[in-house]
Structure 1
Amino acid sequence: MDRRSFLKTSALGGSAAAASTLAAPVYAQGKRTLTMVTSWGRGLAGVFDAAVKTAENITAITDGQITVDVKAAGELVGAFEVFDAVTSGQADMYHAADYYFVNQHPGFAFFTGVPFGMTATELNNWYYHGNGMAMHDKLGEIFGLKSFLAGNTGTQAGGWFRKEVTGPEDFNGLKFRMPGLGGKALGYMGASVQNLPGAEVYQALASGALDGTEWIGPWADEKAGFQEITKFYYTAGFHEPAAGLSVATNREVFEGLTPAQQAAIEVSAGHANVWNLSQYLNNNGAALERLKAGGVKVLEFPDSVWDAFGAASEQVYAEFADDELFAEIFADYRASMAASSGWITDSISAYRTQRDRVLG
């Protein structure tokens, strides 16, 4: 029996047994502090803000009955150790990008961003009015987590490169930082893919340990200082057309809260999700203009590279096609994306094209 099967059998079976023997849930009484570990360096633009906003919301909505102690990456556990910290009970909750945990299950990628996947609007459609939230919960339950979206960076940039990309062959041997399924796709294109925490990327790029990196978008990238190292910036990427961030609470801890407190976590996460997306979109335009003024060359990948991205992405999806839960999430995700995209293209996209033409 593989690890996922074991976890699914033990976690779900144990929950069912407990439910049959308890007449009523027992909730912890009085004020309490929950420890939130994060994958973000303290003050890291946008992503750490989303964690703090979620925590502040929870405390405010519960009128101080729950206080959330937010830990930056490295203060209690490392950036990529937050998943294990919460599933083991070392911490109560984490805030992270769930695609950091595709080695636990590749389905986690859909709740951050996947190659040629959903925009932020489409992701929210699927999550709140389709089956997305239920599938996030189904996946989290296997690992003893109760998860909600709690942030979104919006469409992410293609990244920073030491030299211009002229064709797919330029990725062969390229040392590039990209997590999730997008990183796996670059691996199929011959890149040497690195998965580094955000707080470590600048030094790796500056030292030459990386030939290039993606991070988020103009505002966060400017804050990180990548323009000090290289001036070649690709503003459209294939890997994360939206990047959801998640808050995940240890399921036993979550079930020990009152229904009102549980709702406070869900509502706090939902507010942080919208607030954080607006934060990025509000700041990216001005930041991009500052980068241009500072000599950054804004570029687009040639069509041959986009075609290679597409072929490599399909190889990644085929790699996980035999995993039943991955296949279930993938099929539902793609169906929701197709259902949303037609109207968005015919209405919003067409309107914005005409607005930009008329207003100049």
Structure 2
Amino acid sequence: MRSARALSTVVAVVAVAAGCSPASVSQASQQPPSPVGSTAPASGAPGAPGGPATGAPGGAPPSPVTLPGKGSRQSLRQLRDLTQSMADGMTTTSFRVATFNVLGASHTVAGGRHSGFAAGQVRMPWALGLLRSAGVEVAGLQELQPPQIDVLRRLAPGWDLFPTAGAARISRANSITWDSTRWSLLQGHTFPVPYFFGHPVQMPYVLLENRATGLPVWFVNAHNPADAHGPAQQWRAEAVRREANLVTSLAATDIPVVLTGDMNDRADFFCAITALTELHAAAGGDHDGGCHPPAGVGVDWILGTPDVSFDRFVVQRGGLVARTSDHPFLYADVSVGPSQVEGP
């Protein structure tokens, strides 16, 4: 196992590649941050300086994420060398990752679209129970609204959350949470995805370090717009392009990438994202000689880069899941390690 010093060196190289200080905090703007850019505090503690606010609504969405400019090739080569150096001394890291749209509290109030469900603060302990009973270590959550965040903070103090308290309310609705006894935060960022009417909403991505093996993994969580306020296919298509651009940029660091989310599309999402990236889905399917989506696919997804191996994939519906949300609860067993991260 490599020391935290080696990982901090990786973080420093990542930050230098973007021309910023490793200690700086990611700030919001209409333009997305470079995916290997400024870093969040490595503590992951509740109340730490948070993610950026949502970009201002507008017509044309911001430009996609791009890799750093001048000097980036040399810096990325250094990062690959450091990543390989760490991999040489590591065993395989295995963990369970989940994605769950927890059905926002505002949807279940009197007069809401799903008023037949219990209140958000009643349902959130059930969601936490699902995560714990499944042995999940990292989860992408969608529609996580303030009453549900408060419950998570109160009942799961050992779980960290990004974006943190300083972020805009709508940005925190799509969060990444993890068991802080098993993972520590190295970097936290957001990137803009067009949501209803094309208005940009910040989505999170984090670099977490496995405490047992020292292995870093990128986690990205997204929520693409549904047709609830009119046809949104054009915005979903743009969202997929941005998500693909980000994943490609992060994969260039030779660190495994896991993407979770409610993409509000089935085969269309799978075919687009696998055409634009090397991602593969925990649910199966492939893009060899054409697009072949997994059977029985829904709108919720877990995907990984080629250095991520999915050993098991579970979709839970009914029972407690059906009382908690209008979405299924998905989780997958993941393995990453030296055999996956080795380069040519």
Whichever of the two has the greater Rg, that structure is 1
The TM-score range, normalised by the shorter chain, is under 0.3
Q: TM-score under structure 2 normalisation? A: 0.26
Question: Which of the pair has the greater relative contact order for Cα pairs under 8 Å at 6+ separation?
Answer: 1
Q: TM-score under structure 1 normalisation? A: 0.26
